[in-house]
Structure 1
Amino acid sequence: MTTTKISNDVLSIVIQDFGAELHSIQKDNVEYLWQGDPDFWARQAPVLFPIVGKLKNGSYTYDNETFKLGGHGFARDQVFELLESEEDAVVFELRANRETREVYPFEFRLRITYKLVGNQLTVQWEVKNLDDQEMYFGIGAHPAFNVPLENGKFEDYRLTITPAHPRQYIPLNPATGVLDLSQKHVVDQTEFALTRELFKDDALVFETPEATEVCLSSTVNDRSVKISWENMPFVGLWSPYPAEAPFVCIEPWCGIADDQNTDGDLTTKFGINALAHGKKFKASYTITIN
Structure 2
Amino acid sequence: MSTYTIENQWVLVQVDEQAAEIHHFQSKENGLEYMWQGNPKYWSGRNPTLFPMVGKSKSGYLTIKGKPYQMGNHGFTRNSLFHCIHHDENTIAMVLEDSEDTLKQYPYHFRLVIDYILVAKKLVIHYSIENKNEEVMPFHFGLHPAFNCPLEKGKHQQDYHIELAQEELVNGVLTSKIDLDPVELRKTIILEKPSSRWSKLSDGKHFVKVFHDGYPWLAYWSPEAPFVCIEPWYSHTDFTENHLDYEEREGCIKIEPKGVWQCSYSIEID
1:239 and 2:222 equivalent?
yes
TM-score, with normalisation over the residues of structure 1?
Answer: 0.88
Partner of 2:38: 36
Partner of 1:182: none
Partner of 1:225: 208
Partner of 2:157: 154
User: Which secondary structure does the structure 1 equivalent of 2:201 belong to?
Assistant: strand
Summarize deviations over 1:92-138 as a string: whole Å, max 9, x none: 00001000000000011000000000110001111110011111111
User: Which secondary structure does the structure 2 equivalent of 1:163 belong to?
Assistant: strand
Partner of 1:173: none
For 2:181 and 2:127, the matched residues in 1 are separated by 32
Would the aligned equivalents of 2:83 and 2:95 in 1 still touch at CA under 8 Å?
A: yes
| Cα gap change, 1:38 to 1:157, in 2 (>3 Å) | same
Shift of 1:42: 1.1
| Cα gap change, 1:35 to 1:110, in 2 (>3 Å) | same
Partner of 1:178: none
Would the aligned equivalents of 2:60 and 2:71 in 1 still touch at CA under 8 Å?
A: yes
Partner of 2:253: 273
For 1:133 and 1:224, the matched residues in 2 are separated by 44
For 2:32 and 2:113, the matched residues in 1 are separated by 29
Shift of 1:196: 1.5
Give 1:180-199 correspondences, 5 Å limit: 187-199=173-185
Shift of 1:248: 0.5
Please list every run of at least 4 consecutive aligned residues from structure 1 whose deviation after the TM superposition is greater than 3 angstroms. 208-211
For 1:210 and 1:275, the matched residues in 2 are separated by 25
Partner of 1:116: 118
Shift of 1:199: 2.1
Partner of 2:193: 208
Would the aligned equivalents of 1:161 and 1:214 in 2 still touch at CA under 8 Å?
A: yes
Give 1:7-26 correspondences, 5 Å limit: 7-26=7-26
| Cα gap change, 1:288 to 1:208, in 2 (>3 Å) | farther
Shift of 1:264: 3.3
User: Which secondary structure does the structure 2 equivalent of 1:191 belong to?
Assistant: strand
Give the alignment's Cα RMSD to 1 decimal.
Answer: 1.5
**Structure 2 spans left out of the alignment, 5+ residues:** none
For 1:262 and 1:25, the matched residues in 2 are separated by 38
For 1:86 and 1:208, the matched residues in 2 are separated by 36
For 1:21 and 1:230, the matched residues in 2 are separated by 21
Summarize deviations over 1:222-245 as a string: whole Å, max 9, x none: 1100001222111110000xxx41
Partner of 2:109: 107
User: Which secondary structure does the structure 1 equivalent of 2:184 belong to?
Assistant: helix
User: Which secondary structure does the structure 1 equivalent of 2:198 belong to?
Assistant: strand
Paired amino acid for 2:240: Q
Shift of 1:211: 5.3
User: Which secondary structure does the structure 2 equivalent of 1:260 belong to?
Assistant: coil
For 1:78 and 1:25, the matched residues in 2 are separated by 21
Partner of 1:65: 67
Paired amino acid for 2:162: L
Partner of 1:138: 140
| Cα gap change, 1:239 to 1:114, in 2 (>3 Å) | same
Shift of 1:144: 0.7
For 1:275 and 1:75, the matched residues in 2 are separated by 18
Summarize deviations over 1:61-119 as a string: whole Å, max 9, x none: 12220101111000011110101001011100000100000000001100000000011
Give 1:257-268 correspondences, 5 Å limit: 257-268=237-248
TM-score, with normalisation over the residues of structure 2?
Answer: 0.94
Percent identity between the two aligned chains:
33
For 1:190 and 1:66, the matched residues in 2 are separated by 42
Paired amino acid for 1:235: L
Partner of 1:174: none
